[in-house]
Structure 1
């Protein structure tokens, strides 16, 4: 899967998660807001994203918890 397709998949997971969380708002977010990059250390996986860090405040939850919720749905 290419990075753009993975970013789209990430967005498709985040939108319903926002609806589940009261106050979670993804209005105005698009694929470009979820860039993926290759981690320097390949032991950390094939792809990395800072989506949880960027969205934690909007969702009112710690970034690590948000990352875990996103990972469960991917």
Structure 2
């Protein structure tokens, strides 16, 4: 099993019970360098503060998730 975490990204919904700041701290502590924050977490934290947290922790953003699955009447 590889211990290389360079391509691992934390999708924040998997830890939705914690704040963006806590998720960033956990990533940094675990050596995870990528995160996929969700819009509602960025909104709760504020865009400027979110950007500062990510920058200070040297985290890169793999994606910005906007919401869940949206069912359609027709597919």
TM-score, normalised by the number of residues in structure 2 = 0.28
More helix per residue: 1 or 2?
1
**Structure whose CA Rg is larger:** 2
Q: TM-score, normalised by structure 1?
A: 0.28
Q: Tell me which protein shows more strand as a share of its residues.
A: 2
